[in-house]
Amino acid sequence: MQITEIYKSIQGESTYAGLPCVFVRLTGCNLRCSWCDSEYTFTGGHRRTLEEVIEEVEQLSPGGGLVEITGGEPMLQEREVVPLMQRLLDAGYTVLLETSGERQLERVPRRVIKIVDVKCPNSGEPDTFHMENLDWLNPEDEVKFVLSDRTDYEFARDFVSRHRLDQRVNAALFSPAFSKQASGARDASACLLDPRELAEWMLADGAPARLSLQIHKFVWDPAMKGV
């Protein structure tokens, strides 16, 4: 499979945020979100066999722990990534899959915890969510909305209620988008939507969702890769 990087860091944006995690970042994405912070994954990377990837994960986190399969869009390499996830599960790892929601998720192994995006109106990729994926969500999964303004927020709030996501999955995550140019300041100044404003909207509406900040951007320089 084509891999951009494999590294260990702190999980940044889900209910697993803050835990040590090995990231397997696959190359390539078929979407072009306006606030994407992973454009360096669109091309390049290195060919790695399944065995090579497993070996590297085991070196970084021997005997188990948390592994996140991410990208780019990892499900573009479904034929190889599904057996990889199964092997990691069999080896005792807790496996997270971070995906754009545009690919069909039917063949993802049941024990993988899916963190599935639903792209909002101002993402540059609206209406790309594969609606049948709602049927493949498990109670352990999470659905993430990256928000850049009030229109995105209202879309997310209404999507969560219409599809009763709060009753279907572990969490609906509302995450303020970061500016692509963010660098230097490790604070909320580069958020496209002020987290405080988002929190106040959520409280006013009683939104059944969890405010989620990309904590790695508060720990390291927001422009830093491999964290």
- Name beta bridge partners: 113: 96
Q: Which is nearer to ligand SF4, 160 or 177 (CB)?
A: 177
Q: Which of 74, 61, 59 is nearest to 25 (CA)?
A: 74
Q: Which is nearer to ligand SF4, 95 or 116 (CB)?
A: 116
State the minimum distance, in angstroms, from the CB of residue 43 to ligand SF4.
12
State the minimum distance, in angstroms, from the CB of residue 72 to ligand SF4.
5
Sites of contact with ligand SF4 (CB under 6 A)? 29, 31-33, 36, 38, 71-73, 100
State the minimum distance, in angstroms, from the CB of residue 90 to ligand SF4.
28
Contact 2, 46 (CB under 8 A): yes
Alpha carbons 202 and 22: distance in angstroms, whole number: 32
Q: Which is nearer to ligand SF4, 24 or 54 (CB)?
A: 24
Q: Which is nearer to ligand SF4, 26 or 88 (CB)?
A: 26
State the minimum distance, in angstroms, from the CB of residue 63 to ligand SF4.
30
Burial class of 32 by CB neighbour count within 10 A (0 to 12, 13 to 18, 19+): exposed
Placement of tokens 């927020």 in the chain:
153
Q: Which is nearer to ligand SF4, 73 or 152 (CB)?
A: 73
Contact 45, 59 (CB under 8 A): no
State the minimum distance, in angstroms, from the CB of residue 75 to ligand SF4.
10
Burial state string for 56-91 with b = 16 or more CB within 10 A and e = fewer than 16: bbeebbeeebbbbbbbbbbbbbbeebbebbbbbbee
